[in-house]
Amino acid sequence: MFIMVALLWLMSSILFFRNPQNEKIRWASVIGFCGGFGGIGALLGKGIDRPEWILHLDGIFTSIGHYFTPYGMLIFGIVYSDVIGNVRKRNILKLLLLIPIFIMYSMFQVYPEFRIDFRILAIWVAPYVIAANILLIYSAWREDRPIIKRRKILTCVFVVPMFTFALTTNIILEALGIVGVWRYNPWIIVIQFLVFVYFGVKYGILGVRIRFEKEMRDSTMKAARSGTALFNHTIKNEIAKIDLLVNQIKEQIPPEEKSAENLGLVLNSTNHVLELSRRIQSKLDVIDLKESEFSLTESIDSAINLLKPYLNMNPNITIIKQYEVDAIVFGDTEQLQETYLNIIKNASEAMNGQGVILIKVYKTRKKIHIDFIDEGKGIGKDELTRVLDPFYSTKHNQTNFGLGLTYCYNVLKKHGGDILVKSKVEKGTTFTLTLPSKRIIEFRVNEQSNSKLVGENSLWTK
């Protein structure tokens, strides 16, 4: 039982401290902590011939395990599925769902020994847990973004059996008079923990893997900024010395001599090195947003217009816009446009100047998403998790620094958003940019046809 408690609290701690701002993660942690309290109650033993303080702790911990664990399961299901988008309504529901718990505390004793009628407990606990499972499965079923859908399916594979087993052994069987089966729970928890570690590291459960990847990428970014700043400082100092000495030598040589021309070439090279240094640093610097209100689709259209000369040179590239919604967004339109430009250029290069790039704008309950879908050569699995890292490039040429997508990642992160990348070799790549609700002032619905070629107009209504 001690192992069960330790593993439950370890899983809950990993989840909570990796992403405490996420409400889904917080409620998932609540389930583990409450279940652990129930295990502590079992460890404290039975009978009233125990010390007074143990009797009090036993009653408190055991009641938390029996009452608040199923409550946490249902709230987790509600939050995870996002079936109630209105925060105020969701908070009211959270309070209403506490009513059975208050009734249980009024009906059954906690001290000196926790006693309960499991048949009555099952009346409300079973619907709570079953509803939680249904909400989790429904959330995975209705999700249409492949990467997110896979993560939700994996979450269901991990969570639903655990919820069902806990309900069956702790409540249902006890209510039917089949007692003591819950003692096998530690073995199930060990198995669940191993599943959690495997799928969390390999695929991502409840956002654990993506959080690890972001932390590693952010750590790399900090190191890159620090290293690049030091490198640039050194380069600038040394180049400044070279520039000064070359200018002094050049002043002593007649302009018509060949050596004067060569010194001019040296000065051009030093200026080129400094410009490269500035370009690298500009991609890594902490971004300062110049925020204003703007139309998201208009900002995309503006970026495409900026690409017109490039597209005219590549006439076999077709851009199709599929704007299901528009949104008035509060952010930095210039930085976001630069992000679009980076992604569209990468897509066209991946297609070798021939193919279709589809740009989709759509929303979920709280976020707006922009998909850039190309028909290019795709990215291998071994490279997919690294494409956003600084100085990593799949182009493998000397003129590319591997900082374009890193810049895109920084821009979205600064806006409180995210970038997801999915790809199949020889099938193409999809970049999904996501902006959170706090950036969205209002949505507008497209009343005309969704799919449009570049240059066609749309009619928007609030």
Domain CATH number, residue 413: 3.30.565.10
Query: What are the pLDDT tens digits along the chain (462 aa)?
Result: 566 667 667 777 777 776 677 788 888 888 888 888 887 877 888 888 888 888 889 889 999 989 999 999 999 999 988 888 788 898 999 999 999 999 999 999 888 888 889 999 999 999 999 999 999 999 889 887 676 777 788 888 888 888 898 889 888 999 998 887 767 666 666 666 566 655 655 555 555 454 545 555 555 555 455 455 555 556 666 676 777 777 778 777 776 666 766 777 777 777 766 665 665 555 555 567 788 899 999 999 988 888 887 888 888 888 999 998 888 999 988 889 888 988 898 888 888 878 899 999 998 877 899 999 998 888 777 777 667 666 555 555 544 445 577 778 888 888 888 888 888 888 888 989 999 888 888 887 765 545 555 444 444 444
Domain extent for 77: 2-206
Cα-based distances in Å from 203 to 147, 206, 208: 10, 10, 9
DSSP 314: -
Please give the structure tokens belonging to residue 346. Answer: 């990468």
DSSP 84: -
Provide, for the chain, the percentages of residues in helix, strand and coil under a 3-state DSSP scheme, each rounded to the nearest 5: 60, 15, 25
User: With contact defined as beta carbons under 8 Å apart, do 12 and 33 qualify?
Assistant: yes
Question: Rounded to whole angstroms, how far apart are CA atoms 225 and 230?
Answer: 9
Of the three residues 189, 206, 223, the one that is the final residue of a domain is: 206
Asked if residue 49 and residue 120 are part of one domain, the reply reads: yes
User: With contact defined as beta carbons under 8 Å apart, do 299 and 336 qualify?
Assistant: yes
Asked if residue 386 and residue 251 are part of one domain, the reply reads: no
Edge-to-edge strand list for the sheet holding 355-363: 418-424, 428-435, 368-373, 355-363, 317-323, 451-453
Asked if residue 316 and residue 439 are part of one domain, the reply reads: yes
In which residue are the tokens 């209403």 written? Answer: 96
Asked if residue 273 and residue 363 are part of one domain, the reply reads: no
Residue 33 identity (one-letter amino acid): F
Question: Rounded to whole angstroms, how far apart are CA atoms 194 and 58?
Answer: 29
